[in-house]
Structure 1
């Protein structure tokens, strides 16, 4: 719906658009509402970008673009474009969440109603695709993971005493749990928790860090340009992810590509596919224990970091683009 706000779906959309354009595809990214805080993902895009809020103008643009594949990134977009796609477009519906998240909100009912009519329903992991196929009775599931925008040549040495949290400072990300886990881990000075991102929860999280007694060791870094994030991973020893729900978080893949081990709540097949140390959802004490284990052993961090980088290979952009092109060929047949 909003193609230019800071968020995982938007990042994936622009990464895929640039990658497909580099392979010679004509690519258009359409935002169906205007962003209040636009974020730049690609400095020199080779694809076309549009913001079209009126249905009449949207249909006119689609007719002008001509036949192709319409990749709709959420149930809301599928609903919005229902009846607006001109003849010749092959509709593909993505879902960037997990089956468990869809089941807990209106998404599952919408996917059951609208996605069977599409050429393909695309999910982020084999586990989630299977569960949608079995429990939402979808006959057209396909698995396509999120891609990494780039592949770093350097890996973190994992010597820096820093735990990293990356994402919007919003309620669903539950950075309060990460702060609590860091406090309970007993990580000695000079270990710090660095939070990269901004949002409505920032001041509440500052107060929470003070209550947990770690306000002097939780550093709020704010929103950083995408180009600066590789340096942050290189200066990190551990990544923590404590979200209530996730699809396939790019931060897990980016950390893994830099050889940084992660600890995450086991909230989706996508999270499991990225290979972090898994903790039962919401179990802050166990999360703290895993942080403490990694804080205390650089050898364990290096072992898990090497495994994370090896696993991240599957999510390199070229590999994911190959899979998208195989999907296009499958639909054409």
Structure 2
């Protein structure tokens, strides 16, 4: 068994990187690996992902990211604390979960911890931000650069000229015992109520789709955030204020019931890596309509087989796809059954197998 260290800029905020990190850490610890999760900064509102972690957890700075200036003294303290931690560890692997973590840590790692860089976003998103330049500069010299889909790994290999790409999807933390009944009339959207999720586009599409559907459908948004009141006003302006339900934040332990009550999952995000909400819905037999924004989305939603994909930002196409599913329980049943079968590839045990295969490949 190996030592595996996962390093995040912040390991305990409510977010996708953190959730995946703790899920994989717990899974590898359960297989006998010595696992450590490191947050370079304390989370402003720490979220507990695992009730009884089988791994060690470390926070280097007590100050949250973005709070105050990062002084030379802070940098010295960081290096000192990390050196002490690294010195206690047996040989193994250091998985840095973001470009920021790679930049901060790669020169500090001792030789007995082999460096692996992860990127949870898509190539499309990286290309539109500083991430692509950082990945290009820093990931090529690592043992492996890990991406969430085969498509994204290939794109980074070609356009960022990385010779060391690998792909491992995000895992489903649990597998539901049963599937949803597609006969209901509820569209669900899951995520933070923030601009990047573009729930305004979902509301617009839902309003258009509902015009041609006889049943009294509702749109439930599960999550909270600063956009809530703006989205509520937008729903009223679109004429669907009475069909909108803002559920707020739902504890992870209660999300299975939300998926079981859903009939269609709608993913309207502007960018995504590999969105676990789609995998979770699929595991419950709920098909998705999604904007085609990444290889990770395409790996989950096989258009016409496990769900429906539409061009990014095309609200009318989204409405047409959504309306087609809202109008046909038989089509929801067909796609939902295929989605559940396909989601088996994202079960935790299979993803852990891929991590262990990567470790074996690196040391071979």
TM-score, normalised via structure 1 length: 0.98
Matches for 1:119-134 after TM superposition, within 5 Å: 119-134=143-158
The 8 Å contact of residues 106 and 115 in structure 2, kept in 1 or not, is answered as no
Match of 1:201 in 2: 227
Aligned residue pairs total 333
Look up the match of 1:96.
120
For residue 135 of structure 2, the aligned residue among 108, 111, 125 is 111
Alignment of 1:57-96 (within 5 A): 57-96=81-120
- Paired residues for 1:1-333 under 5 Å: 1-53=9-61, 54-186=78-210, 187-188=213-214, 190-275=216-301, 276-333=307-364
CA distance in 2, matches of 1:188, 1:246: 32
Q: CA deviation at 1:142?
A: 0.4
Asked whether the equivalents of residues 197 and 269 of structure 2 are also in contact (C-alpha less than 8 Å), the reply is yes
Alpha-carbon shift at residue 189 of structure 1 (Å)? 5.1
CA distance in 1, matches of 2:183, 2:42: 43
The separation in 2 between residues aligned to 1:55 and 1:214, in whole angstroms, is 54
Find the residue that maps to 2:156 and give its secondary structure. Answer: helix
- Runs of 4 or more consecutive aligned structure 1 residues displaced over 3 Å after TM superposition: none
How far off its partner does 1:188 sit?
4.6
Contact 2:11/2:43 (8 A) holds in 1: yes
Quote the offset at 1:59 in angstroms: 2.2
Looking at structure 1, the residues matched to 225 and 357 of structure 2 have their Cα atoms a distance apart, in angstroms, of 38
Gaps of 5+ in 2: 1-8, 62-77, 302-306
* Structure 1 residues 211 and 55: alpha-carbon distance in aligned structure 2, compared to 1, 3 A threshold: farther
SS in 2 for 1:27: strand
Distance (Å, rounded) in 2 between the aligned partners of 1:182 and 1:40: 34
1:311, 1:327 → 2: CA distance? 23
Question: How far did residue 216 of structure 1 move?
Answer: 1.3
Cα RMSD of the aligned pairs, angstroms, is 1.0
How much has 1:160 moved relative to structure 2?
2.0
Question: Does the 8 A contact of 2:170 with 2:346 survive in 1?
Answer: yes
Moved more, 250-259 or 153-162: 153-162
- What are the superposed Cα offsets for residues 166-210 of structure 1, whole Å, 9 maximum, x if unpaired? 011111111111111111112455311111111111111111111
After TM superposition, the structure 1 stretch with the greater mean CA deviation from structure 2, 148-157 or 55-64, is 55-64
